[in-house]
Homo-oligomer: A and B are copies of this chain.
Amino acid sequence: MSDIEIAQQAKMQPIIGLAHQHYGIAAEHLDPIGHYKAKISLEYINSLTDRTDGKLILVTAISPTPAGEGKTTTTVGLGDAMNRIGKKTIMCLREPSLGPCFGVKGGAAGGGYAQVVPMEDINLHFTGDFHAIGVAHNLLSALIDNHINHGNALDIDPRRIQWKRVVDMNDRALRHIVVGMGGAANGYLREDGYDIVVASEVMAILCLATSRADLKARLGRIVIGYKSDRTTPVYARDLKAHGAMAALLKDAIKPNLVQTLENNIAIIHGGPFANIAHGCNTVTATKTALKLADYVVTEAGFGADLGAEKFIDIKCRMSGLKPAAVVLVATVRALKFHGGVAKDALNQENLIALQQGFANLARHYHNITQHYGLPCVVCINHFTFDTEAEIALLQNQCAALGAACVVSKHWAEGGAGAESLAVAITEIVDNREPAFTFVYDADLGLWEKIEAIATKLYGAANVTANAKVKAQLAAWQADYGTFPICMAKTQMSFSTNPNSKGAPSGHTVEISDVRLANGAGFIVAIAGDMMTMPGLPKVPAAERIDIDDDGRITGLF
């Protein structure tokens, strides 16, 4: 059965009743969105302040491959398993983006028997958060061009506007456009472009904001570009945009409750790109879950070099969150890919490639335990084609590394298949208080922070940048020197070359550009190409997505 067929057979329970039964949340604190989704009121969340926090478990992965690793699936499977063994656990996930849904990827709500439901709703519009973010973003865009059109009193340099427009769609034709054509009535001609909504700074801001007031202040701090002196920033608050933007986000700021196939509570809220943003769900959602449950399982985007690093150095640093342990997800298939096997040969046993590809896992494990200071369990997300010899080899290699390693079958068996993983991870978090550390101190210079990430985590020998980039960082040092770095690097490799598999070392990381995300509160350092607007493939998933006369949807994976 496909994911959507499994999801459509789920026996969902009305979410209001479920939230009350599991966590004692009264109906008045929830805004229902249909019968199986609900938003939690901020007033209720604020009322939980005095409660003790649960334990936070981060699910991350080896460097992604086309083979798929199953981070979301593992997060859901582990959460279901923990609830099965009597540990009250909430899962915190990211909202899927519509764009990839119509491209290659299909849905993004877990897979097999480890899914969140209602799957179609979660993949299509969900509770409207991304639409609200998109409109808030585009309102600021419209206000910028409107301000210039009506006399440009702020002296915005139209050539130095860095605030693009957004749409929740994979649409390569919009990457680079010219706006304002057609004469005086349509304003001034200038170059512009579109990003996908998940790449919006508004998304990053929503995910890091701690209150309505903080949200509005951050929106006001967004730097949209520079004045004609080339250096004086123009803020969203100069355009009086932040109040209306915050009003548009009045509901988007509230976390969303849904359930897993096994009727356990999951919170799905926020979904920033793990590229130019931190790639984690909202701080509000994670903190709320920690107040409600004894354990919270959450995920971070891409591999542990990107998503987990930002989870630690950006999300945890800004919010005071402290993870208790990490699950590092790997598959036999993906490790063979890292060992040089082509995509169409991954289902054949190949012990040599597996052994070679293991270097990728080993580097991530080393980073998590040594540089983040966190206990780590390796989860082998089991695939049908995995052979016994492969599993045994992988377990031996983990043992040689000193790593706990659990084979988990949640995709095929749901929570029951992940009980060993749940036992392993709860044993750690119930008994250890980790000496959690950041990769760099906030006081370190901006350039030195980039060097710390690249040399410690990526295995790079050195970091380079042209004079312009170095001058820009130096110029920002005074005002923004304490900001963390948000690295934008290919997720496919520890290096900046996506084809460099395994665990490359001694390479050079070149920083091609840096950007100030002043509202989010970090500096984006771009290493290599960064794609903030994907394209559709030759045969997009959209072609097979359909709905019948009764409203039943097919073709979403």
Residues in A lying within 8 Å of B, measured CB to CB: 31-35, 39, 42, 98, 102, 120, 124-125, 128, 131-132, 134-135, 138-139, 141-143, 145-146, 149-151, 165, 167-182, 185-188, 191-193, 211-213, 216, 239-241, 243-244, 246-248, 250-251, 535-536, 538, 540, 542-551, 553, 555-556
Contacts and interface: CB of A to CB of B under 8 A. Distances in A.
Given A172-B149, A178-B181, A132 B142 contact: no
Contacts of A168: 135
A124 B244 CA distance: 10
Given A120-B250, A169-B142, A175-B186, A212 B128 contact: no
B145 A243 contact: no
B135 A547 contact: no
Given A33-B34, A139-B542, A145-B172, 17 more contacts: A31-B34, A33-B33, A124-B248, A125-B128, A138-B167, A142-B169, A142-B170, A143-B536, A150-B538, A173-B180, A173-B188, A175-B182, A177-B180, A177-B181, A241-B543, A243-B546, A247-B547
Contact of A125 (B216, B248, B548): B248
Contacts of A167: 138, 167
A251 B143 contact: no
A241 B171 contact: no
Contacts of A250: 120, 124, 547, 551, 553
Contacts of A555: 243-244, 247
Given A102-B139, A138-B167, A186 B211 contact: no
A33 B135 CA distance: 20
Contacts of A179: 173-174, 177
A436 to B, nearest CB: 32
Contacts of A171: 138, 141-142, 145-146
How many copies of this kind of chain does the complex include? 2
A240 B124 contact: no
Contact of A143 (B131, B135, B193, B542): B542
A31 B42 contact: no
A129 to B, nearest CB: 10
A70 to B, nearest CB: 25
Nearest to A145: B173
Contacts of A175: 181-182, 186
Contacts of A35: 31-32
A198 to B, nearest CB: 14
Contacts of A185: 172, 535
Contact of A177 (B124, B128, B178, B212): B178
B149 A244 contact: no
A247 B543 CA distance: 11
B546 A247 contact: yes
A545 B169 contact: no
Contacts of A191: 181
Q: Which of A170, A177, A185 has the most CB of B within 10 A?
A: A177
Nearest to A536: B146
A510 to B, nearest CB: 20
Contacts of A177: 177-181
A535 B39 CA distance: 34
15 contacts: A31-B35, A33-B34, A34-B39, A135-B168, A138-B167, A145-B173, A149-B172, A176-B182, A177-B177, A177-B180, A178-B178, A182-B193, A216-B547, A244-B555, A250-B553
A144 to B, nearest CB: 9
Contacts of A139: 102, 169, 542
A212 B244 contact: no
A354 B392 CA distance: 93
A251 B186 contact: no
Contacts of A549: 211-213
Given A243-B546, A546-B247, A547-B247, A173 B135 contact: no
